Amino acid sequence: MVKRVLEGTVALVTGASSGIGAATAVALAEQGAAVALAARRRDRLEELAAGIRDQGGTALVLECDVTQEQQAADAVARTVAELGRLDTLINNAGVMLLGPVVDAPLSEWQQMVELNVLGLLYCAHAALPHLLRAAGDGPRQVADMVNLSSVAGRVARNGNGVYSLTKHGVGAFSESLRQEVTRRYVRVSLVEPGATATELVSHNRPEVRESIRNQLGQTMQAEDIADAITYIVTRPRHVAVNEVLIRPTEQER
Residues with a known catalytic role: 163
Cβ atoms of 128 and 181 within 8 Å: the answer is yes
User: E strands along 129-208, which residues?
Assistant: 143-148, 186-193, 196-197
Q: d(Cα 249, Cα 197) in Å, to the nearest integer?
A: 14
Sheet holding 143-148, edge to edge: 59-63, 34-39, 10-14, 88-91, 143-148, 186-193, 243-246
Cβ atoms of 154 and 172 within 8 Å: the answer is no
Q: d(Cα 177, Cα 62) in Å, to the nearest integer?
A: 26
The count of C-alpha atoms lying within 13 angstroms of the C-alpha of 187, restricted to the half-sphere facing its C-beta, is: 25
State phi, psi for 215 to the nearest 5 degrees: -90, -25
In 3D space, the residue among 87, 88, 91 whose CA is nearest the CA of residue 136 turns out to be 87
* Maximal C-alpha separation, the chain: 59
State phi, psi for 38 to the nearest 5 degrees: -115, 130
